[in-house]
Chain A
């Protein structure tokens, strides 16, 4: 129920109660509890997302029963490659990603086109992007799905420096890819495009903001609406929190081996009592109702491990492309038959912060620009890097960019109070914050999808 509807109902009920005479004698016993109840109820009525634990929401998403019901429409879609942009000097082990690829879903009539940018480490067809594609395709959009600049394929063939993580630079790469994708799509099929839109989630939302700013200068598209879903605000804070999740205290778990053994045993116990192994969407919710439910710390660890895996993939790929030689010895040509396990292990030990220190800071220092000359001190340089590549860097522009909106959750661990305040101050009427959902856990919730479409279609957020 929307806040407004809840309020209408609320004022009606309270009016009724005022006629039941709230006298001072009965005030404390009857009326005060009623008022207390009424004053908190709009918050409860406003949003019925069923998962209260932000870590569970992040890991398991929206329970199938509460997900938006999408019709079964046949999506006309294809994965297309950009042959002109093939990276010639990529090591042989990257044979599968040396040509940039994207995914196109097209309508057979004139329609607006929306770009979707994936989150950290995500390829163009990762499940959240696929879901957003379904939503927008059904709403009548052509859709182009773009990999995150931090994903394996983009590091090899999308990024010009092969060192992702600097939002400004990444958004220039994305912008180039987006333009090339549209050209390629038009060669592939007859595309009648009558409007441009952009969205992204998590790190992809931060990228989308920078791309939108770039487009406001270069005007290749002229976006009508840009929607950011759960972007990090202060990048340094987000990354610190994600790195820190691996330090969550689970009894008996003090390293990755005991960690995996721990989850394995727990899962085995659960399956044994349930006599079957069904790994489907609702399994995690079932587990959480059983005696083998995962604690908040265990869930946090899972998120931390999965984030670390993305960082490790990015770090290794970058190292193999650039010969930075943090992992692979200089000029050692890895072949398809060579074991990558030792590099995998080494890369898994590197947090995002470590990646910034080992890859990005040295790279910026070698660049011949005024920034590095002034700042020989690495800590100061690092702080500056984060600042220049975070959302507040665009504050002035965002305040005026009436076509850019944001959706976020007030229990998302990638932001903090300061970040949330920044979003409220900057976006004004163009923000929608939900009290629950963790990081991206409520993406598929029916109300979120309704609000997303409402903003993109120019009707604003229902309650804003």
Chain B
């Protein structure tokens, strides 16, 4: 009997999690959606960026004094390698030897498929396309009970 069935702890737990998540997010969004929060968050970010920039400058100075490559040096090298990589790719492609761009050995089915239910009519009926169909604007919404 329904009255004798004790509540399922898992179901209660799931319900509680959903409710907690909804309430917490709602409360947090109210707080985080304020101008004050935006200002504080962005000020904090600026101070982090300032600290990061100072650290980067100091490191650059130290590496330069030690006669070692800095981050910018490594980046320049990386850019040069990337340019070479692209050139090599183009050469490989022009030779038909690249990892990408090769004709794939997979099967190529014919491009003859027609939408279900329209196979017979397809040849006769015009396909909607390129803005030629008039009055086709439509907005739909899923039924609520789905």
User: Do the two chains bind?
Assistant: no
Chain A residues with CB under 8 Å of chain B are none
| Residue ranges of B at the interface with A (Cβ–Cβ < 8 Å) | none
